[in-house]
Amino acid sequence: MPRRLLSMALIAAALAGPAAGQELVPDAGATVRDCVGGGGAAFRITSSVLGETRPVLVAAPPSHADTVRAYPVLLVLDGEALFPSAVAVTTALAAAGQVPEMLVVGLPNTNRLRDLTPPGLSVSGSSRNEGGARFLALTT
């Protein structure tokens, strides 16, 4: 189990972006709801790119505890709503042999309008200078 937690932590740390000063902390007070098999873990990560601490949810397939191999990663935006469904679907599809087993990483939103609005675009009365470019920089 410690190896599993470590590899989940490394995946979550990679999502923090390339800037120095990121800190990954297991979020012992958080519950990962509706995760198939109860295999989810919650973390908090400080992003210097975004200038805030964000939650990160991670679920690994059951074989992850027993094997040392690479797994594909599914990144789920709107993780507060879509993470449990994504874990359920990927688990069922992997059991049916339709997709490989994978790690599922959910990123809950803290401010969807700010993070997902591209620069130069106004959505629902937002400014034309929201934080979409900073959020996108985390994935490059």
Query: What are the tens digits of pLDDT across the range 66-96?
Result: 878 889 999 998 888 899 889 989 999 999 9
Distance from C-alpha of 93 to C-alpha of 78, rounded to nearest angstrom = 21
Structural domain includes residue 134: no
Query: Could you tell me if 20 and 105 are in contact, meaning their C-beta atoms sit under 8 angstroms apart?
Result: no
Question: Would you say residue 126 lies in a domain?
Answer: no
Q: What is the pLDDT of residue 3?
A: 47
**Mean pLDDT value across residues 119-129:** 64
Query: Can you tell me whether residue 53 is helix, strand or coil?
Result: strand
Rounded CA gap, 130 and 90, in Å? 33
In a domain, 120, yes or no: no
Residue 51 belongs to some domain of the structure: yes
Residue type (1 letter), 114: R
| pLDDT reported for residue 101 | 92
Domain span holding position 24: 2-109
The 40-47 sheet, strands edge to edge: 23-26, 40-47, 52-59, 103-107, 73-77
Position 30 in a domain: yes
**Residue 47: inside a domain, yes or no?**
yes
Instruction: Report the domain count for the chain.
Output: 1
How many beta carbons lie within 10 A of that of residue 63, not counting itself? 11
Strands (E), 15-111: 23-26, 40-47, 52-59, 73-77, 103-107
Whole-model pTM: value is 0.71
Question: Nearest 5°: CA angle at 103, between 97 and 105?
Answer: 135
Residue 119 lies in a domain: no
pLDDT at 98 exceeding the cut of 90: yes
Q: Is residue 131 part of a domain?
A: no
